[in-house]
Amino acid sequence: MTIFTRIIKGEIPSYKVAEDERFYAFLDINPLVKGHTLVIPKLPEPEADYIFDLDDQLLADMMVFAKMVAKGIKQATGCKRVGVAVLGMEVNHVHIHLIPLKKETDMLFSNPKLQLPSDEMCSIANSIAETIENPA
C-alpha cells in the first residue's frame, strides 16, 4: 500500500483541497511553491503507478477533476498559470502535480523544496478549497 492510499484512507493526515468519489487533491508537503497540489485517483489495490495505464475514461475524468482544482489554485494564489506535471517516480501511485506559476522556473523539480509551517499549509489548503466550492 502506498503513502497516497494511506492518505486516502485517512491513516496519514493531509491538507485536503478537494475530493469526490473517485479523486483526491491535497497539498504537496514538500512544495516547489505555495499551493503545489497533488491530484490522485482513489484506486483499488494494487494501485496503478503509471498514468497511461489508466483506462481512457478514468484518465479523462482525472484531468477534468485536475482542471477544476487548477482553477481554484489560480484564483486562490493569483498565479499566472498552473503548470501540470506527471512524473510518477517518487511514489508508485498515479498522481498529477499542479504547480502555481509566476515564472517558468517555478516548476523546476531541482529547485529547493519549501518547508512551510502547518498553520500556513492549512490556510493555503482552505483558501484553495473555498475557491473551488465558491468560484468567482
- Residues with a catalytic annotation lie at 95
Grid cell of 65 as nine digits: 477533476
User: Does residue 50 sit in helix, strand or coil?
Assistant: coil
User: Could you tell me which of 69, 94, 91 has the C-alpha nearest to residue 82?
Assistant: 69
- 84 φ, ψ to 5°? -120, 130
Strand-pairing partners, residue 38, are 26, 97
